């Protein structure tokens, strides 16, 4: 039996600027996004009907009903074909690293290969969620608008990331409701060339995640995570990703990142912690 697989990589917002809000309520963003070489695993195989099976260490709290983004992604093709979708869930749910959106994008890619059909059009992809287009691209990129504008960034240096989540689910709509200001400045029109991880971190320190202060009012644990990451030797920058509560530390070597993740797991055994290289 034919089986297609895809890795739903963790999405990391190195910075995230909220630059406005449309009349329909959607927020305008300007964000530099990368992906980590860790994530959920999706597999699809032929079947008479569409179905979803959720397994994995982070799958316990995730329903497999028709509203699951994986099934919505499958229906976005608009085809009368079936498939059995298996989601092996390793990323925390509602954690700011695009788990659901990355899963949807992985399902789109796997089913496109399984069914030998083109991907749904851009409007259908965006309708699944603001992060789905950039997760479908899966490369370092600048994301703008409500998520529809994705411009790949090809000259980032090699970086290693430590991702840490305190086990707290944060509601993205609640974070946006808690925003004090929605018309913040965006990123520079032209992003500078950063030859090293240290240069990238220096640039990022002048940028922001405009959702972090709002998330802190809902989940103060975010501050503990960024402080713990910042305290690790070799950490060049620590910041919250997306709407939280997952935070990342940026490192220039794999050894530094691995040692930091081991130290965090020992100090905080109840946290979810992973180290991974940035996917290129």
CA dist 250 and 47 (Å) reads: 42
Catalytic position from the list 11, 30, 40, 210? 11
102 in Cβ contact with 61 (< 8 Å):
no
245 in Cβ contact with 166 (< 8 Å):
yes
117 in Cβ contact with 85 (< 8 Å):
no
Catalytic position from the list 30, 40, 131, 210? 131
CA dist 201 and 190 (Å) reads: 17
Strands annotated E in 96-229: 141-145, 149-152, 160-165
Collapsing DSSP states into helix, strand and coil, what is residue 223?
helix
**Does 131 qualify as catalytic in the annotation?**
yes
Helices (H) and strands (E) in the chain, counts: 9, 10
175 in Cβ contact with 222 (< 8 Å):
no
Tell me the sheet residues that pair with 13: 33
**Does 11 qualify as catalytic in the annotation?**
yes
- Would you name the residues annotated as active-site residues? 11, 131
């Amino acid at each position: 039996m034919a089986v297609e697989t895809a890795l739903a990589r963790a999405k990391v917002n190195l910075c995230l600027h909220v630059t406005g809000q449309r009349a329909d309520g959607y927020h305008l963003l300007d964000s530099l996004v990368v992906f980590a070489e860790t994530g959920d695993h999706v597999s699809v195989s032929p079947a008479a009907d569409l179905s979803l099976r959720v397994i994995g260490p982070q799958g316990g709290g995730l329903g497999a009903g028709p509203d699951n983004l994986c099934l919505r992604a499958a229906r976005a093709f608009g085809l009368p074909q079936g498939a059995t979708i298996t989601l092996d869930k390793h990323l925390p749910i509602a954690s700011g690293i695009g788990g659901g959106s990355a899963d949807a994008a992985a399902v789109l890619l796997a089913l496109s290969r399984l069914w030998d059909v083109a991907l749904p059009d851009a409007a259908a992809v965006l309708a699944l969620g603001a992060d789905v287009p950039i997760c479908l691209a899966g490369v370092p990129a600048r994301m703008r608008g409500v998520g529809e504008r994705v411009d790949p960034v090809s000259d980032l240096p090699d970086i290693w990331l430590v991702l840490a989540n305190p086990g707290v689910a944060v509601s993205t709509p609640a974070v946006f409701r808690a925003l004090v200001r929605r018309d913040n400045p965006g990123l520079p029109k032209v992003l500078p060339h950063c030859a090293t991880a240290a240069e990238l971190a220096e640039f990022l320190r002048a940028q922001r995640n405009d959702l972090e202060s709002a998330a802190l009012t809902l989940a103060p644990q975010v501050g503990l995570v960024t402080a713990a990451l910042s305290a690790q030797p070799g950490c060049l920058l620590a910041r919250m990703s997306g709407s939280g509560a997952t935070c990342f530390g940026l490192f220039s070597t794999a050894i530094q990142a691995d040692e930091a993740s081991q130290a965090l797991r020992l100090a905080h055994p109840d946290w979810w912690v992973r180290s991974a290289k940035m996917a290129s």
